[in-house]
């Protein structure tokens, strides 16, 4: 569907395009095939559909009380992924990833997690298919979100604080280092590469993960039509690694490219980790240790360690290659917001719609609020579709910080950005 093909991932040593053999130590063959497929649609296995039936289709809800509060002429719909067993969109990809590993005889999966939604989702899926789950959680989130850690353990997963002393890479950091998703990825990849019965599972960024998440947008396109709307005028999602955003936005982008709808599509990121808005579109590693292939993406540099904002799922140094590609081609827009505005909006949303949004989702809500207020001033009546990627019932500590005036915005300085980008490899 895209007017230009995305650049291929490159081998870190040769800078040649990677092949299936390069990915085989980490992923089963079905996921490798999905990573490179040019098919428009990929069949969802029956075993995966059986799990999806627990919570899919997720609801598309008209936010009427929020509209009234804002006095807007806009019609706001939110696609709510908090109904999944893990409380977020992450279950959409954890289930097929574990399924494909299980049918290939894999008995253990390693992974990273930020705020904990991905670790929770993978632990749940591993429990369903009898696979061990070992999670490296970013240190700042591990320290501040003990309930999420407990939930991972309830589902049968094992959680380590990252950086850890369990890996050679992790031993190179101070024990109180706040960590990053890039560091946690390196630790999980290091362990997976040492054991033939172990593979690695990634919760975002890669093509097959984005593919699994498009079930969100596919449903939303049909649900919007059932609600009597001709289409969306504005589609908004929060963006960290990119899977939640792509899951909602890519089916609408397909409709846009086909001429059936013409929405503006906006990715919203935190000002402290402004990958799309201030990063550079370059080949870089997906992890801090440089163990992954080089991918063409918007990046702040694989050494980048973001501030300890409450939206832990948005603290990634780069953006999914496919999301980066469509942003570079001008097919989507991006904006960065401060977390204080996002929590203020999320609190208003909770008091009108009755849902406590995940801190990540609050970024999308804040941008939707801006659009709704603009519509109230102009008198226009746009149809706004916003991704609500999960609930924040295990993030009440973050809301407590906001409600008691202790929340601080921490935008990325030019000097820190320049230092981080200096480590990005030169690829010609």
| Choice between 377 and 413, residue whose per-residue pLDDT is larger | 377
Measured CA to CA in angstroms, residue 15 lies from 18, 218, 385 at distances of 8, 35, 40
In this prediction, residue 288 carries a pLDDT of 84
Best CA proximity match to 283, nearest among 309, 302, 267, 268: 302
In this prediction, residue 61 carries a pLDDT of 98
- What is the tens place of the pLDDT at every residue in 317-363? 899 999 999 999 999 999 999 999 999 999 999 999 999 999 999 99
Those residues whose C-beta lies under 8 Å from the C-beta of residue 393, and which sit 6 or more positions away, are: 87, 356
Give the β-pairing of 108-113 and 158-162.
unpaired
pLDDT above 70 for 312: no
| Choice between 368 and 144, residue whose per-residue pLDDT is larger | 368
In this prediction, residue 309 carries a pLDDT of 63
Over residues 117-134, the mean pLDDT reads 97
Best CA proximity match to 224, nearest among 250, 266, 261, 259: 261
Across the chain, mean pLDDT equals: 94
- What is the tens place of the pLDDT at every residue in 162-183? 999 999 999 999 988 998 888 9
In this prediction, residue 291 carries a pLDDT of 80
Best CA proximity match to 236, nearest among 351, 374, 352, 93: 374
| Choice between 153 and 22, residue whose per-residue pLDDT is larger | 153
Q: Name all domains of the chain by residue range, CATH numbers in brackets.
A: 49-87+207-422 (3.40.50.1100), 90-200 (3.40.50.1100)
When pLDDT is cut at 50, 70 and 90, the band that residue 311 belongs to is low
- What is the tens place of the pLDDT at every residue in 79-119? 999 999 999 999 999 999 999 999 999 999 999 998 789 99
In this prediction, residue 235 carries a pLDDT of 98
In this prediction, residue 308 carries a pLDDT of 65
Helix (H) or strand (E) holding 370: helix 359-378
Report the alpha-carbon distance of residue 264 to residue 243 in Å, rounded: 18
Three-state DSSP class for residue 186 = helix
Over residues 301-309, the mean pLDDT reads 78
| Choice between 126 and 148, residue whose per-residue pLDDT is larger | 126
Over residues 197-217, the mean pLDDT reads 96
Interaxial angle between packed helices 339-353 and 359-378, expressed in degrees from 0 to 180 and rounded to the nearest 10 = 80
Q: Please state, for a pLDDT cut of 70, what percent of the chain lies above it.
A: 99
In this prediction, residue 250 carries a pLDDT of 98
Q: Please state, for a pLDDT cut of 90, what percent of the chain lies above it.
A: 78
- What is the tens place of the pLDDT at every residue in 183-204? 998 999 998 888 889 999 999 9
- What is the tens place of the pLDDT at every residue in 273-292? 999 999 999 999 988 888 88
Report the alpha-carbon distance of residue 80 to residue 59 in Å, rounded: 6
- What is the tens place of the pLDDT at every residue in 10-39? 998 899 999 888 888 889 999 999 999 999
Over residues 37-53, the mean pLDDT reads 96
Let me know: does 306 contact 180? Beta carbons within 8 Å.
Answer: yes
Query: Exposed/middle/buried for 273, CB within 10 Å: 0-12, 13-18, 19+?
Result: buried
DSSP-H helix ranges across 258-338 = 275-278, 321-328
- What is the tens place of the pLDDT at every residue in 236-250? 999 999 999 999 999
Report the alpha-carbon distance of residue 69 to residue 422 in Å, rounded: 46
pLDDT above 80 for 272: yes
Longest dimension (CA), the chain: 61
């Amino acid at each position: 569907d895209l007017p230009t093909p995305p650049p291929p991932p490159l081998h870190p040593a040769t800078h040649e395009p990677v092949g299936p053999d390069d990915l085989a130590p980490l992923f089963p063959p079905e996921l490798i095939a999905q990573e490179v497929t040019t098919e428009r649609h990929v069949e969802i296995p029956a075993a995966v559909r059986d799990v999806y039936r627990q919570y899919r289709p997720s609801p598309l809800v008209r936010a009427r009380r929020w509209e009234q509060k804002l006095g807007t002429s806009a019609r706001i719909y939110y696609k709510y992924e908090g109904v999944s067993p893990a409380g977020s969109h992450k279950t959409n990809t954890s289930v097929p990833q574990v399924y494909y590993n299980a049918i290939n005889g894999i008995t253990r999966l390693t992974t990273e997690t930020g705020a904990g939604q991905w670790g929770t989702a993978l632990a749940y899926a591993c429990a369903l298919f009898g696979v061990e789950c070992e999670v490296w959680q970013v240190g700042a989130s591990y320290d501040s979100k003990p309930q999420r850690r407990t939930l991972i353990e309830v589902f049968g997963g094992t959680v380590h604080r990252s950086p850890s002393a369990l890996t050679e890479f992790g031993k190179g950091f101070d024990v109180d280092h706040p960590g990053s998703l890039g560091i946690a990825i390196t630790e999980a990849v290091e362990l997976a590469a040492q054991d033939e019965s172990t593979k690695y599972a990634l919760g975002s960024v890669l093509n097959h993960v984005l593919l699994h998440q498009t079930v969100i947008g596919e449903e939303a396109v049909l649900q919007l039509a059932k609600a009597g709307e001709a289409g969306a005028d504005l589609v908004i999602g929060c963006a960290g690694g990119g899977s939640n955003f792509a899951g909602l936005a890519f089916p609408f982008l397909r409709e846009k490219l086909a001429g059936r709808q013409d929405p503006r599509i906006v990715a919203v990121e935190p000002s402290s980790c402004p990958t799309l808005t201030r990063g550079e579109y370059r080949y870089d590693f997906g992890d801090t240790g440089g163990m992954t292939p080089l991918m063409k993406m918007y990046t702040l540099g694989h050494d980048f360690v973001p501030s300890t904002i409450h939206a832990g799922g948005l603290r990634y140094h780069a953006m999914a290659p496919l999301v980066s590609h469509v942003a570079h081609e001008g097919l989507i827009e991006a904006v960065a917001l401060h977390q204080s505005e996002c929590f203020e909006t999320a609190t208003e949303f909770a008091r009108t719609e009755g849902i406590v949004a995940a801190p990540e989702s609050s970024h999308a809500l804040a941008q939707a609020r801006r659009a709704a207020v603009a519509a109230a001033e102009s008198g226009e009546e746009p149809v706004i579709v916003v991704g609500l990627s999960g609930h924040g019932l295990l993030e009440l500590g973050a809301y407590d910080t906001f409600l008691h005036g202790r929340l601080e915005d921490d935008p990325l300085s030019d000097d820190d950005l320049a230092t981080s980008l200096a480590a990005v490899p030169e690829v010609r």
